[in-house]
Amino acid sequence: MNNSIEIKENIYWIGVNDRRTHIFENYWPLPKGVAYNSYVIVDEKVVVIDTVERSRMDDYIDNLQAVLKGRTVDYLIINHMEPDHSGAIKTLLCHYPEITILGNSKTFPMLQNYYNVNVPLLEVKEGDTLNIGHHTLSFHLVPMLHWPETMVTYLNDEHILFSGDVFGAFGTLDGGIFDDQVDLDYLEEEISRYYSNIVGKYGVPAQTALKKLSPLRIDMICATHGPIWRTHIADIVAKYDKWSRYDTDEGVVIAFSSMYGHTEQMADVIARFLAEQGIKKIRIHDTSKTHPSYIINDIFRYQGVILGSCAYNGGIFPTMETLLNELENMGIKNHYLGYFGNKTWGGGAIPHFKAFAEKMKWEVVAEPNEAAGAMKPSDIEQCKAIATAMVEKLRS
Ligand code: FEO
């Protein structure tokens, strides 16, 4: 079935939806699926920009052939080598062996390591251009968004930015492909989760890229995932700016690990004290139930973080340890931290939280509390002190 869509005269979306894969990069949940967007420009030369993940190969080639009506592909531009976009390269080369692959100096070693291709390669540098007939493309390197070889391609006369993963989103394209054709409220969490989970570690490169791209007039953003932006461009750019500056809203994320409920009780008590002091954005997550993807996403939204864990084999509970590792790996900045534990005999979680706070350079708002089983009046007082100190910091 031909599922290509003309997005501008002679410029086509030839992406595919993936509703079967449960976890992206074999790690991040995909409750609403994901789209792999590829694009083709039909001019005197035919240019394909990025491909798709290899499990959707037949649909992809069908879409491309329907657009080309017998013509061949002259250039493949690789903005990003991750296999959800480079997965169709070998198949593409089987169908179009005369192709020239265009990338930068960081692209080609990866290309050889992954696919060992033997076709002409055209290396571009920052600001280089390629004339393909009526259109001219320019290339802009945005390293570490989120891999070192990442770049974006700009169609100068149409003012279209082919942005790779940048401005992408989880979620399939269910009929509509433009931002004004889809339910952005439905996709909101998938847009922010894509940023926080995939790009979030690279706030500084994101800021550098936004500054580099700011002189360009952009009428359309064609990312490799999610909707094509043409109506809400300023909104998505502002979101990326906010997220990559680690700018957050007033609110508190409470994540806890609890075996039999005592630590969860502490989380609830703290949440109640927060609410009594006017905090409305309170998000409580059980680390045994909720994937770090969602907790990380909320931490990108709200400045306050309160973590609690029961002791487990003399240490911290495994799912909380996983969350701490993820947060350390991402290096999220600018948060206030409170923490608490619960023990039956020797304790275990508190030193882990202390070390975590030091690594993250998050300001600890109050002395931690470590209860022993059910909360005593003194534990309730200490939990109240954590909540009160958090509120004061958030409003300072
Ligand atoms: Fe969508 Fe980094 O690949």
Q: DSSP string spanning 266-286?
A: HHHHHHHHHHHTT---EEEEE
Indicate if the pLDDT at residue 317 is higher than 80. yes
Instruction: Render pLDDT for 4-56 as a digit per residue (tens, 0 to 9).
Output: 999 999 999 999 999 999 999 999 999 999 999 999 999 999 999 999 999 98
Predicted local distance difference test score (pLDDT) of residue 389 = 98
Q: For residue range 269-294, what is the model confidence (pLDDT) as tens digits?
A: 999 999 999 999 999 999 999 999 99
| CA-225 nearest atom, ligand 1 | 1
Contacts of 149 (CB under 8 A, 6+ apart): 78, 80, 81, 103, 104, 106, 107, 110, 143
- For residue 84, report the distance from its CA to the centre of ligand 1, in Å: 6
Q: Whose CA is nearest to atom 2 of ligand 1?
A: 82
Q: How do residues 97-147 score in pLDDT, each as one tens digit?
A: 999 999 999 999 999 999 999 899 999 999 999 999 999 999 999 999 999
- 201 C-alpha vs ligand 1 centroid, how far in Å? 14
Any ligand 1 atom below 6 A from CB of 164: no
Q: What is the Å distance from ligand 1's center to 242 Cα? A: 21
Residue 63 vs residues 39, 89, 152, 177, 336: alpha-carbon distances, Å? 10, 15, 23, 15, 49
pLDDT in tens, 211-253: 999 999 999 999 999 999 999 999 999 999 999 999 999 999 9
Give the number of residues written for the chain: 396
Does the Cβ of 85 fall within 6 Å of ligand 1?
yes
Confidence of residue 2 (pLDDT cuts 50, 70, 90): low
Output the pLDDT for position 1. Answer: 55
Domains located in the chain, CATH noted: 5-244 (3.60.15.10), 251-394 (3.40.50.360)
Say if residue 85's pLDDT is above 80. Answer: yes
Predicted pLDDT of residue 269: 98
pLDDT of residue 3: 85
The pLDDT of residue 14: 97
* Ligand 1: centre distance to CA 129 (Å): 24
Nearest-atom number in ligand 1 for the CA of 36 is: 1
Mean pLDDT (whole number) for 329-350: 96
Cβ of 84 less than 6 Å from ligand 1 = yes
In this predicted structure, the answer to whether residue 153 has a pLDDT above a threshold of 90 is: yes
Alpha carbon distances (Å) from 53 to 34, 126, 138, 317: 11, 27, 25, 36
Within 13 Å and on the Cβ side, how many CA atoms surround 123?
9
Residues 359 and 362: their CA atoms lie apart, in Å, by 8
pLDDT given at position 118? 85
140 ligand 1 Cβ < 6 A: no
The pLDDT score that the predictor gives to residue 64 is 97
Q: Nearest Cα to 43, choosing from 151, 137, 120?
A: 137
Atom 3, ligand 1: residue with shortest CA distance: 82
169 lines ligand 1 (CB under 6 A): no
**C-beta of residue 274 within 8 angstroms of C-beta of residue 387:** yes
* CB of residue 53 inside a 6 A radius of ligand 1: no
Alpha helices per DSSP H over the chain: 57-68, 83-86, 89-95, 107-115, 184-194, 203-213, 233-244, 262-276, 292-301, 318-330, 350-360, 377-394
Query: Region 333-342: what's the mean pLDDT?
Result: 98
- Mutual angle of helices 377-394 and 262-276, in 10-degree steps: 50
Beta bridge partners of 131: 136
Please name the helix (run of DSSP H) or strand (run of DSSP E) that holds residue 221, with its range, or none.
strand 220-223
Query: Over the chain, what is the mean pLDDT?
Result: 97
